[in-house]
Amino acid sequence: MVRTILTGQLAAMNEARDARGVAYVAGRLTSVLETIARVTGELGSMAQSIKSRTLSPSLAAFSTSSADCAGPQR
Tens of pLDDT, residues 15-74? 999 999 999 999 999 999 999 988 888 888 877 777 666 665 555 555 555 445 555 554
* Burial group, residue 7, by CB count within 10 angstroms (0-12, 13-18, 19+): middle
> What is the distance between the alpha carbons of residues 53 and 8, in angstroms, rounded to a whole number?
42
Model pTM? 0.58
Q: What is the pLDDT of residue 60?
A: 53
| 65 burial via Cβ count (<10 Å: 0-12, 13-18, 19+) | exposed
